[in-house]
Each structure stands twice: as structure tokens, then as C-alpha cells.
Amino acid sequence: MERVNILMSTHNGRLYVAKQIESILNQTFTNFRLIISDDASTDSTLKILEEYENKDSRIEVYRQEKRIGATSNFEFLISKVRSELFMISNQDDIWHIDKIEKSIKKMEDQGLDLVYTDLEIENARHRRIAASYWKYYEFENKIKKYNGFQSLYLNNYISSSTMLIKSKWINEFIPFPKKNSSIMYDYWIPLIVSQNGRIGYLDEATVRTRQHKEDIINIKQILSYPNSFEEMRNSFINYFIDHFKVFSDNVKYFSDASVRQLNRDSYEYFNKIRIITKCSFKDIKLFFKLFKCEETNDKINYLLLLHFPVIAKIYFNKRKNKQQKSGELQKERKKYAKKQWSWADNSYAMFKWRRDNWNMHKKSSKSIERK
């Protein structure tokens, strides 16, 4: 039996899927099975998949007659896992040739239950946008300092396409939560595994992930550029209300009684904090417990935003007025509409975006030169 099952969900991926399959078939590690489930594609994706299935016995293809969505499709794929280890593949990525080999070595050397890596970001024309996903979203320091359940508790920084997971953990995180799109499978898996298992990272990119028009979700569809401080603050808080509502509703997945209690307390905390309009020291200990793993500068921003909104509003309005005078507001809208290319998959992007829109004393990040 093969040692690794690679799970790929496809939907209308005719432009990209062949190159990704080729990158998997060309891996230096060859003892794997590629299991693909096509989510009712209406283009020629299924035909491409069937051609590869006929050419290589390591490929196994399933077809969903009706569209079930990415989360349910991956749930279906996980039910087909028969190996010791499994990985997740996007239909439009390209894997480095030694991705599987290096991930397995890292897992074996350190006795890990889940391994993840960095990845490169490029556009549909293969032009690099960023050499490091971790640096692009500014959580490299968090990963290297904390890396574990506590640092994953508020938001995700692990991309599904970089993970290698021991199959023995499947029953711990299946079925996936379905009530809230902000909690995706690529967040749920490492979050649950990290409670009682060991997770670790390979400090290099092993995947080239693509940004293209089909991936970009218009920022206005999710959160328009805030016209007011109240709008921005409410969206930030509502994100965490939804977040902890999912945690509280899925009690069985959290084995530690203290974590289950923290889920309930956090849900109540964010519901109470949104009615504050001036200043409050109530539940400030819980704030520091929740945001312990954030950078000091970010922690100050979040503290002002949640507990001292009357002060945070002053900063927000000053920045907004300055932008309006300099004509930068439209540029900011465009920048964030382009940068947040994976909202559905990356709750961290949403989390950081809310912060960056009012942060007055953070140094502006250097723009990434496109090659």
C-alpha cells in the first residue's frame, strides 16, 4: 500500500490542473496515490483528469454529480484515505519536486503529527508576487516564536497545500464545521491536531501558489473599505463572534475542559465588548490571554480598538483625513482588494486587514517588488 495519499479537489480547473498533476507525478518521493474528486466541473477538467487516470495507476478520480463545495468535497476525499499519511493539493498550485520527500523527513526527524511549510505566491502568468507567504502576511515571527495551538487559536497561518498529516488524526477533526465560512478545513485540521499532537514547520517554500482572477474575491463582497470607525470595529468584532460561535457549537472537538470554557468565555467577551463606546477595563485579563501570541505593536492596536475605542477612533479619523487629503484612499482600496487574494481560505488575512486599516503608528510595510 502507498504511504501517502494526496487529496485534490477540482472545479473548472482546466487551465491549471494538468501542470499541478505533473508537478505531483514528478516528485522525488513516488510511493503515493493521488485521489481527485471533481466537484461537478462544467469545463473540460474531468476529461483531463480521466486522461491522467488512464496513464498513471497512482491516480484515482471521482466525480460529484452536483456541486457540493470545497469543504464537503475535501471531507469526501478524506473518507477515501487509506494510507499512513495524507496531503492536500489545490488544483492550481505547482509543487516543488522534493516537497513530499522533505516533509516526510521533517516529520520523521522530529516525531511530528503534522508538518507545514512556507510557499511562494505568483500570478497566473507565473510572475512572482512574493517569495514567502509567511513574510507577505507578516506572521513569520509568530510562527517561529509560538507555533502551536495557542498561536492558532485566534486565526490561521497554515496553508492547506503545505500540510503533511498523519491519518490517525482524521477522526479527531471530521466532520468539518459547516456553519461558518471563516472556519475552513485548512484551519480546522491544524487547530484540532495541535491540541494533543505535535505540529512543526519546514522553514522553506515547497509550493508555488497562484493568484488569478478566479481566486480573487472582490473585497466589497466581504468587507468594503470602512467609511467609519464604527463600521471597521464592528466588522472586526463580528469576525470573532462568528469564530467563537463555531468553537462553542463544536464542543466535542475540544478535549480540554479549560479550552471549552475559554471558547464560551471568548464568545461572551466579544459580544459584550462591541457595546463599549468609550473605555473599559472589564475582562482585560481575558484580552491579554487571547492575544498573547500577537506582536506587541499589534497587541496595543487591538487593545485600543476593543477596550478604548474612544482613543482608537481618534487615530482612525486622523489617518482617514490624511489619506483623503493626499488622495491615498483610492490607492488603499485597490491595494487591499488585490492583496487579500484568498479570503475564504485565510482568516488571518481578514484579521490583519481590519488592523491595518486604522493603524497609525505601525511603520508602513515595504512594497514587494514584482518580478
DSSP 186-245: HHHHHHHHHHHS-EEEEEEEEEEEEE-TTTPPPHHHH-PPPSSHHHHHHHHHHHHHHHHH
Strand, coil or helix: 91: coil
What does the alpha-carbon distance between residue 291 and residue 303 come to, in Å, rounded to a whole number? 9
The pTM of the full predicted model, rounded to 2 decimals, is 0.84
CA distance 336 to 195: 33
CA-to-CA dists, residue 126 to 11, 130, 208, 324, 335, angstroms: 21, 11, 9, 35, 20
The answer to whether residue 208 scores a pLDDT higher than 80 is: yes
More confident residue, 185 or 324: 185
DSSP 87: E
Question: Taking 70 as the threshold, does the pLDDT of residue 367 lie above it?
Answer: no
Maximum Cα–Cα distance across the chain:
66
For residue 161, the 8-state DSSP code is G
For domain 4-211, the CATH class is: alpha beta
Asked whether 9 and 37 are in contact (CB, 8 A), the reply is yes
Domain boundaries defined on the chain: 4-211, 219-356
Residue 321 has a pLDDT of: 76
Buried/exposed 292-317: b ≥16 CB within 10 Å, e otherwise: ebbeeebeebbbbbbbebeebbebbe
- At 305, the pLDDT band (50, 70, 90 cuts) reads very high
Across 110-114, 166-170, 267-271, 276-280, least confident range = 276-280
Does position 342 have pLDDT exceeding 50, yes or no? Answer: no
Report which of 166, 157, 153, 136 is spatially closest to residue 201, judged by C-alpha positions.
Answer: 157
Give residue 69's region: left, alpha or beta (phi > 0; psi -120 to 50). left
pLDDT single digits (tens) 126-147: 788 899 999 988 888 899 999 9
Per residue in 233-258, pLDDT (tens digit) is 998 899 899 999 999 999 999 999 99
Q: Give residue 257's pLDDT.
A: 96
3-class secondary structure, 154: coil
Beta strands in the chain (DSSP E): 4-10, 32-39, 59-64, 85-89, 94-95, 114-123, 128-130, 164-166, 199-211
Q: Is the pLDDT of residue 3 over 60?
A: yes
Mean pLDDT of 141-161: 92
- Of 309 and 317, the structure prediction assigns the larger pLDDT to 309
